[in-house]
Amino acid sequence: MAGVKDYVNPSVDENRKQIEYHVKEILRLIGEDPEREGLLETPARVTRMYEEIFAGYGVNPRDVLGVSFDEQHEELVIVRDIVYYSMCEHHMAPFFGKAHIGYIPSGKIAGLSKLARLVEAVSRRLQVQERITSQIADIMEESLQPHGVMVVVEGEHLCMCARGVKKPGSKTVTSAVRGEFRSNEALRSEFLALLKQ
């Protein structure tokens, strides 16, 4: 799948040391004293934070849906309000919000928690919201081969709220539409109406 690369970490310990060293250098370069009491543990804290927020690089998102279940349900299934946190690849600033996934099974369903895990696997990387939205839809389509998939992602971007144009509270909404959702306006409307309830 385009845009989703598998990541292999050759040496976790060596990477940690390198990240800590570079965080310390950044602190120095912005005019701070990395030896100041309040900053002594900051490089290690930042390293641990990066391991958590970039955990998606250690996961192949295509594998997340895992086992599917045979089920002859061919009506709309929606999991909404899946909270995600990601990092903008342009400024390495956080963005966060909610993802909503709807699909029409064609004989196979996924465990509902797997959809939340998919959102996490895709979002815990350097990302853009548009790509997150498309990747979720593409992986759902590839793995489950449903009649249709629709994904809506809402996000608030600190690179837009806290810097640059400084417009706090502004939200970005992206969507990806596959299969029957593309051709069936009533189906799209049903999905969007259920999101508002």
Q: Give the tens place of pLDDT for each residue, 104-135.
A: 999 999 999 999 999 999 999 999 999 999 99
Q: Which pLDDT band holds residue 44 (cuts at 50, 70, 90)?
A: very high
**88 marked among binding-site residues:** yes
Among residues 127, 129, 147, 161, which one is catalytic?
129
- pLDDT for 153: 98
> Distance between CA atoms of 60 and 46, rounded to whole angstroms?
24
Annotated catalytic, 51? Answer: no
Looking at the predicted structure, is the pLDDT value of residue 10 above 70? no
In whole numbers, what is the pLDDT of the chain averaged over residues? 93
> Distance between CA atoms of 141 and 128, rounded to whole angstroms?
20
Q: Which of the four CATH numbers 3.90.1300.10, 3.30.2420.10, 3.30.1130.10, 3.20.20.150 does domain 66-196 have?
A: 3.30.1130.10
Annotated catalytic, 20? Answer: no
Looking at the predicted structure, is the pLDDT value of residue 52 above 70? yes
Which residues are paired to 85 by β-bridges?
96
The domains of the chain are located at 12-53, 66-196
Among residues 88, 120, 135, 147, which one is catalytic?
88
Its pTM stands at 0.90
Annotated catalytic, 41? Answer: no
**147 marked among binding-site residues:** no
- pLDDT for 127: 98
**159 marked among binding-site residues:** yes
Among residues 91, 145, 156, 190, which one is catalytic?
91
Please name which of 96, 86, 85, 94 lies closest in space to residue 162, comparing C-alpha atoms.
94
Annotated catalytic, 89? Answer: yes
> Distance between CA atoms of 75 and 168, rounded to whole angstroms?
38
Annotated catalytic, 161? Answer: no
Among residues 25, 41, 74, 90, which one is catalytic?
90
Top-level class of domain 12-53 = mainly alpha
Annotated catalytic, 73? Answer: no
Annotated catalytic, 37? Answer: no
pLDDT for 60-108, tens place per residue? Answer: 999 999 878 888 888 999 999 999 999 999 999 999 999 999 999 999 9
Distance of CA 121 to CAs 62, 94, 164, Å?
9, 16, 29
Helix (H) or strand (E) holding 82: strand 77-88
Using CA of residue 90, residue 136, residue 8, residue 49, what is the dihedral sign?
Answer: positive
